[in-house]
Amino acid sequence: MNSLDPQTPLNALYEAKGTVHNRRIDGPFRRFKWAMMIVTLAIYYVTPWIRWDRGPYAPDQAVLVDLVHRRFYMFGIEIWPHEFYFVAGLLIMAGIGLFLVTSAVGRAWCGYACPQTVWTDLFQHVDRFVDGDRFARQKLDAAPWTWSKVARRAFKWSIYLFIGFWTGGAWIMYFADAPTLVHDFWRGEAAPAAYITVAVLTLTTVTLGGFMREQVCIYMCPWPRIQTAMMDEKSLLVTYKDWRGEPRGSVKKAEKHPGMFGDCIDCTMCVQVCPTGIDIREGPQIGCITCALCIDACDRVMAEVGRPRGLIDYATLEDCEAEAAGAPPRPAWKALLRPRTIAYLLIWSSIGLAMLFALGARSHAGLSVAPDRNPPFMLLSDGSVRNAYTLRLRNMATRPRRMSVSLEGLPGAAMWTDLTERADAARSLAVTVPADSTRSVRAYVVAPAATPQSEFSFAVTTLDAARESQRVVTNFETPTGERP
């Protein structure tokens, strides 16, 4: 972000910083970051275009939040509104997953997978592509505004807008059939909410990823503060090993005065490659998203000057203390397995297994019953009593299904519906429920004159090989109000 004038009142509120022009670097962590960026962006942009055959009665988009019909589709899973606990379970798993990752490898989420990090990384690559590497960009920033600079900026900001637009465009695809929505969008026939959402997301993507960048992580995001509370002396952090690096001195100085200087040659490569522009040699700080690019940079420098790698490395505070006292470096992976991370892993996998079991065991047919309250009963001319109910039959299968609805209890009673005649009243009847939907049926239950007020059940059973069923207990009201 461009620095503001230090004299402005706004700057009195926080430390003004110059634009971060991080330098290109290659190494294992940079390559891992590339892979994460490609995978996460591909998942985000491509997922709405994946098709998933659910038969002729349900949408064929693999991942879809169908707000109109109140369904959430995710490949073979379909969540209905009454099953929102699955979504709550997924959110809990995501939360515990973050606890697990943080306690094991510190702020790895921030460094590799957070959308702010991924899009910032993408925009920084655009900067590098258009304006060149660090020094070229610094030079261009400091140069006066010429037509060439205006053209470059216009080109770069057009790419920013293009990325922002596709980011917003991809988001709305999760809420409607993607090919249809694209067609409607470009013909101006999509819902106004689609255009407003794309406009807002274009603006926020460009602002947060293109211009504010590391300022979001340092000043706006609450997650670094929360993470700090979750980390302990056994959590992995990107650490500068000052006991090995200090005092700093160039290779020439070290050759002139053997034994006087540490391994850090003060080349500032670790600072130059840092996407948040911090100096890790000043110790752990909130601006470090643990992306480990400084490790790549320093390992490369150490290789060039013939010193062992790992002057900056992933390490726990506990290991740092031991190493500073003379113990050999402990491989970072050994810090991953400890009681706390194993406990998080067990909780996380238990919730996942419970959800998988619940998904596998759930019924795809259901019933809800709402008795009429006003009036609660009607006396018929032959002295019998009639109660009315609204039955809502649920068919979660992707094909129409015949279902039997029957009375259990209430001796001598029979029912008919708004689909049948009273003359056809019986203890059970069959209803066809369309695929992937609910059907409301008005049911009239009539019982002999002497029937006391009592409980009984409606039972629904699918008339197919699955024979799924559900019972719902309800009341039969009478003028006597007496229960047996």
Q: What is the smallest separation between the CB atom of 336 and ligand SF4, expressed in angstroms? A: 18
Strand order in the sheet with 77-79: 63-66, 71-74, 77-79
What 3-state class would DSSP assign to 180?
Answer: helix
The window from 250-258, 268-276, 315-323, 421-429 that contacts ligand SF4 (CB under 6 A) reads 268-276
Tokens at 333, concatenated = 């992976």
How far apart CA 405 and CA 394 sit, in angstroms, is 12
Is 355 in a helix, a strand, or coil? helix
Kindly state whether residue 242 participates in binding ligand SF4, applying the rule CB under 6 A: no
Residue 293 interacts with ligand SF4 (CB under 6 A)? yes
Residue 6 Cβ vs ligand SF4, minimum distance, rounded to whole Å = 24
Which one of residues 291, 320, 367, 433 is an interface residue with ligand SF4 (CB under 6 A)? 291
| Residue from the set 90, 221, 267, 286 that interacts with ligand SF4 by CB under 6 A | 267
We find the least distance from the C-beta atom of residue 264 to ligand SF4, in angstroms, to be 3
Q: Closest CB to ligand SF4 among 212 and 289?
A: 289
Q: Supply the minimum distance, in Å, between the C-beta of residue 267 and ligand SF4.
A: 4
Contact segment (CB under 6 A) with ligand SF4 among 32-40, 275-283, 323-331, 368-376 equals 275-283
Determine, following the binding rule CB under 6 A, whether residue 437 of this chain makes contact with ligand SF4: no
- Nearest CA among 301, 299, 281 for reference residue 241: 281
Per CB under 6 A, 297 contacts ligand SF4: yes
First to last CA, the chain: 78
DSSP codes joined into one string, 333-344: GGGT-SHHHHHH
Residue 161 is encoded by which pair of tokens? 């807008």
Binding of ligand SF4 by 290 (CB under 6 A): yes
Single out the residue of 19, 47, 268, 420 in contact with ligand SF4 (rule: CB under 6 A): 268
Minimal distance, residue 287 CB to ligand SF4, in Å: 7
105 binds ligand SF4 (CB under 6 A): no
What would the DSSP string read from start to end of 133-178?
A: SHHHHHHHHHS---HHHHHHHHHHHHHHHHHHHHHHHHHHHTTS-H
Backbone angles phi, psi at 87, to 5 degrees: -65, -40
Give the Å distances, CA to CA, from 28 to 35, 105, 211, 309: 11, 16, 28, 13
Based on the shown chain and the rule CB under 6 A, indicate whether residue 460 belongs to the binding site for ligand SF4: no
Please state the closest distance from residue 215 (CB atom) to ligand SF4, in A: 14
Rg of the chain over all Cα atoms, to the nearest angstrom: 33
Is the CB of 292 or the CB of 414 nearer to ligand SF4? 292
Provide φ and ψ at 75, rounded to 5°: 50, -120
In three-state secondary structure terms, 43 is helix
Separation in Å, CA 466 to CA 344, 364, 461: 38, 9, 9
Residue 235 as a binder of ligand SF4 (CB under 6 A): the answer is: no
Total binding residues toward ligand SF4, as defined by CB under 6 A: 29
Written as one letter, the residue type at 109 is W
Stretch near ligand SF4 under the rule CB under 6 A, chosen from 43-51, 274-282, 420-428, 470-478: 274-282
278: contact with ligand SF4 by CB under 6 A: yes
Instruction: Decide if residue 177 touches ligand SF4 (CB under 6 A).
Output: no
- Within 247-266, which residues bind ligand SF4 (CB under 6 A)? 264-266
The minimum distance between CB 268 and ligand SF4, in angstroms, equals 5
The nearest distance, CB 104 to ligand SF4, in angstroms, is: 16
Which of 301, 391, 397, 431 touches ligand SF4 (CB under 6 A)? 301
401 forms beta bridges with 433
Among positions 126, 181, 190, 289, the unique one binding ligand SF4 when judged by CB under 6 A:
289
Taking CB under 6 A as the binding criterion, the range among 160-168, 221-229, 282-290, 341-349 that sits at the site for ligand SF4 is 282-290
Tell me phi and psi for residue 6, to 5 degrees. -60, -15
Q: Does 365 bind ligand SF4 (CB under 6 A)?
A: no
Cα 48 to Cα 59: distance, rounded to the nearest angstrom: 12
* Shortest Cβ 298–ligand SF4 spacing (Å): 3
In the three-class reduction of DSSP (H, G, I as helix; E, B as strand; rest coil), residue 388 is classed as strand
Burial class, 120, CB count within 10 angstroms (exposed 0-12 / middle 13-18 / buried 19+): buried
In angstroms, the CA 275 to CA 296 distance is 13
* Separation between Cα atoms, residue 113 and residue 437, nearest integer Å: 37
Closest CA to 218 of 74, 20, 24, 411: 20
Whichever of 290 and 316 has its CB closer to ligand SF4, that residue is: 290
269 binds ligand SF4 (CB under 6 A): yes
Name the minimum Å distance from CB 128 to ligand SF4.
16
For residues 60 and 52, is the Cβ–Cβ distance under 8 A?
Answer: yes
Beta carbon of residue 266, minimum distance to ligand SF4 (angstroms, whole number): 5
Q: Which stretch binds ligand SF4 (CB under 6 A): 139-147, 276-284, 345-353, 468-476?
A: 276-284
Report the SS3 class of residue 119. helix
> Is 270 one of the binding residues for ligand SF4 (CB under 6 A)?
yes
**The one among 36, 312, 415, 443 contacting ligand SF4 by CB under 6 A:** 312
The residue ranges that bind ligand SF4 (CB under 6 A) are: 238, 240, 245, 264-270, 273-276, 278, 280-281, 288-294, 297-298, 301, 311-312
